[in-house]
Amino acid sequence: MTDEKLLELALDARKNAYVPYSGYAVGAALLTEDGKVFAGCNIENAAYGNTLCAERTALVKAVSEGCRKFTRLAVVGNSTDYCWPCGVCRQMLYEFAPDLEVLVARKDHQFVKFPLRALLPHGFGPESLD
């Protein structure tokens, strides 16, 4: 799976975004170690704090289908700026994939790539509880 293809899937996932409040559609595509892709979009709520980000939608879809090992994530918003994953999403992803590569994109398909460990330094993970 190329970065460009994973980004295409993230761009495409924005079409199902439910964003009546922000109008900001986000798409994510999460690649598993064995080559499956789980896509997700953001889902907002009238009680704003219940909003689910695209990355977490993709993650919960994958984990609920029995997949827990991930190598790469692409995320893109509906803007000319990069769609940086929020702190909650960084933490949720870190639980399963501290070595994840995160491809952060703009709607014009430009992207930058960071290790999740750079986006969430000194992350709190399962081993922190040992």
Nearer of residues 37 and 55 to ligand THU, judged by Cβ: 55
| Alpha-carbon gap, residue 4 to 111, rounded angstroms | 9
Which residue in the list 4, 55, 65, 127 is annotated as catalytic? 55
CB 7: neighbour CB atoms within 10 A? Answer: 20
- SS3 call for 18: strand
Kindly state the smallest distance separating residue 62's Cβ from ligand THU, in Å: 16
Nearer of residues 67 and 86 to ligand THU, judged by Cβ: 86
Residues 42-101 binding ligand THU (CB under 6 A) are: 42, 44, 51, 53-55, 85-86, 89
Kindly state the smallest distance separating residue 121's Cβ from ligand THU, in Å: 17
| Alpha-carbon gap, residue 63 to 121, rounded angstroms | 23
- Asked if 25 and 42 touch (Cβ cutoff 8 Å), the reply is yes
Binding-residue pattern over the window 10 to 29 for ligand THU, x denoting contact by CB under 6 A: ---------x--x-x-x---
Q: Is 55 a catalytic residue?
A: yes
CA 34 to chain CA centroid, Å, is 18
Sign of CA dihedral 66, 112, 1, 26: positive
Please give the positions annotated as active site.
55
Would you tell me which residues interact with ligand THU (CB under 6 A)?
Answer: 19, 22, 24, 26, 42, 44, 51, 53-55, 85-86, 89
